Amino acid sequence: MAPRVTKRGTRWRRPLLLLLAAGLAGAAGWELWLHHPVGAGPAGPPVSPEPFAQTWTDRPALLLGLGDSVTAGLGATPGHSYFERLIVNPPDDDPALRGVCLSAVLPNLRTDNRAVSGSTSSEHWQRQIAPLPRADPETLGIVVLTTGGNDLIHNYGRSPPREGAMYGATLAQAQPWIARFEERLEAMVAQISERFPGGCHIFLANIYDPTDGVGTAAIVGLPRWQDGAAIHRAYNDAIARVAGRHAHVRWVDLHSVMLGHGIYCRQFWRPHYDAADPHYWYYENFEDPNDRGYDAIRRAFLNEIARAAPLR
């Protein structure tokens, strides 16, 4: 005969089941909304070593970094920013990328990184590009530029939106700021090009999205921005248009490379979920990449640099 369930046993079973359900719901909430594991190992697209197997040119070359914290390397451990990895492989780099760097193919390479964390596109134009010295005619310029991201996110809604600190703006309000951003980019390209009479290649990155296309970052405490995604797209469209107008300017699509690795990276139902690497590629400040994010960005730049056939 089956044992009889006492009223005492029934009384305790329901609270235990409720407690178990609450625990499971809490664990699922933590894993899917608040847990941001960074993972380990290589990150980002593959890079073919073939273009890096021989010297590209013996000309003097200058790798020039301009822009914001992404090019400055905020959030990276020493030697692991994308700019540093473009120059030389760190000791713990992916073995598949040994020798896949600019110092291996440009024996007379010099470097100069003028990027400043927290700077806006106006500051890039006025404080970084305008004072650039004119290179000698023998020097080949290789310029990497990340710009515009801080225009969008400052001041995180803590002050009314304005040009250069647009968080919270409506799309209609931002239209003249977007137009002037595109005009500034054109002026930047013209001024950089003028500083290299011997020729240069400019690699202009678009702006990634730590919300993975969701468009809101409430889970990290930021106020909702209804038109944020639309303004972000408009800025990236402006970057793509400027790059498309100039044969020596190449567009580097960081937005696509970083999708799926922001604050919603564990949410498997999202369209950009990366089942092969469902990890967080950003630093603790939510704005900048971590080491794995910089690895992915380095790879995106290397692929575009390698496609610039005149360099080789």
| The 249-252 sheet, strands edge to edge | 109-113, 61-67, 140-146, 200-205, 249-252
- What's the alpha-carbon Rg for the chain, to the nearest Å? 24
Q: Which amino acid is at 43?
A: A
| DSSP per-residue codes, the chain | -PPPPPHHHHHHHHHHHHHHHHHHHHHHHIIIII------S--S----SGGGSS----S-EEEEEEESHHHHTTTPPTT-SHHHHHHS--TTS-GGGTT-SHHHH-TTEEEEE---TT--HHHIIIIIITTPPPPPTTPEEEEEEE-SHHHHHTTTTSS--BTTB-TT--HHHHHHHHHHHHHHHHHHHHHHHHT-TT-EEEEEE----TTTT----GGGTPPP-TTHHHHHHHHHHHHHHHHHT-TTEEEE-HHHHHTTSSTTTT-TTSTT--TT-----B-TTSSSB-HHHHHHHHHHHHHHHHH-GGG-
Is 212 domain-assigned?
no
Contact 113, 71 (CB under 8 A): yes
Which residues constitute the domain of residue 235? 44-207+224-253+291-311
For residue 4, the model assigns a pLDDT of: 53
For residue 139, the model assigns a pLDDT of: 98
User: Does residue 207 have a pLDDT over 70?
Assistant: yes
**Structure tokens of 251?**
């567009």
Paired with 205 in beta bridges are 146, 252
**Structure tokens of 203?**
């690699």
- What is the signed CA dihedral for 279, 38, 77, 209, rounded to 10 degrees? 40
pLDDT digits (tens, 9 = 90+) for 74-109: 999 999 999 999 999 999 999 999 999 999 999 999
The model's pTM: 0.89
For residue 221, the model assigns a pLDDT of: 76
Phi, psi of 154 (to 5 degrees): -80, 145
pLDDT band at 27 (very low <50, low <70, confident <90, very high): very low
Is 286 domain-assigned?
no
Burial class, 40, CB count within 10 angstroms (exposed 0-12 / middle 13-18 / buried 19+)? exposed
Is 16 domain-assigned?
no
Is 198 domain-assigned?
yes
Q: How far is CA 136 from the centre of its chain?
A: 32
For residue 55, the model assigns a pLDDT of: 96
Is 12 domain-assigned?
no
For residue 30, the model assigns a pLDDT of: 43
For residues 147-157, average pLDDT: 93
Number of domains present in the structure of the chain: 1
Contact 167, 161 (CB under 8 A): yes
Is 92 domain-assigned?
yes
Is 299 domain-assigned?
yes
Report angle CA 72, 55, 79 to the nearest 5 degrees: 25
> CA 48, CA 299: separation in Å to the nearest integer?
10
Is 267 domain-assigned?
no
Question: Where residue 196 sits, what CATH number does that domain have?
Answer: 3.40.50.1110
pLDDT digits (tens, 9 = 90+) for 100-141: 999 999 999 999 999 999 999 999 999 999 999 999 999 999
For residue 108, the model assigns a pLDDT of: 98
